[in-house]
């Protein structure tokens, strides 16, 4: 298995809703990432988990809450989002602790906040 699987592919949520995005990989990668991508812009790093511990938080608002329950799974919990949070949310994974690391990206979750 050489894929990163993201679910759901599309999500529409209201500003008072709570929802979660899920990311799964079975490549034995111990680094997992969340990126946010607005239209026609490059991805912006949000969080990095390394060996199931939060390694990088790029000053992301607390309405986004990441969770890494095990080495294969990465979740992003969403609560009280704003319309400007509408974007493509990409998950990625890689080996951990190396300087030259190829990344594997998922196909993303298209999030619309109404």
Residue 111 touches other proteins, criterion: CB under 8 A: no
Angle at 91 between CA 85 and CA 20, to 5 degrees: 55
From 16-24, 37-45, 63-71, 72-80, span contacting other proteins (CB under 8 A): 37-45
Nearer to other proteins, 3 or 17 (CB): 3
Residue 50 touches other proteins, criterion: CB under 8 A: yes
Residue 111: name the closest of 36, 26, 53 by CA: 36
Burial, 62: exposed, middle or buried (Cβ in 10 Å; 0-12, 13-18, 19+)? exposed
Mark residues 77-106: x for contact with other proteins by CB under 8 A, - for none: -----------x-x-x-x--xxxxxxxxxx
Residue 71 touches other proteins, criterion: CB under 8 A: no
Which of 20, 55, 65, 86 touches other proteins (CB under 8 A)? Answer: 55
């Amino acid at each position: 298995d050489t894929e990163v699987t993201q679910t759901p592919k599309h999500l529409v949520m209201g500003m008072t809703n709570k929802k979660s995005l899920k990311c799964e990989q079975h490549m034995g990668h111990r680094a997992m990432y969340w990126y946010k991508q607005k239209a026609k812009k490059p991805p912006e790093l949000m969080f990095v988990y390394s060996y199931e511990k939060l390694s990088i938080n790029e000053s992301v608002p607390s309405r986004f809450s990441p969770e890494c329950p095990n080495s294969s799974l990465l979740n992003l919990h969403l609560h009280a989002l704003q319309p400007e949070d509408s974007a493509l949310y990409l998950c990625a994974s890689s080996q951990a602790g190396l300087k030259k690391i190829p990344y594997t990206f998922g196909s993303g979750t298209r999030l619309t906040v109404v």
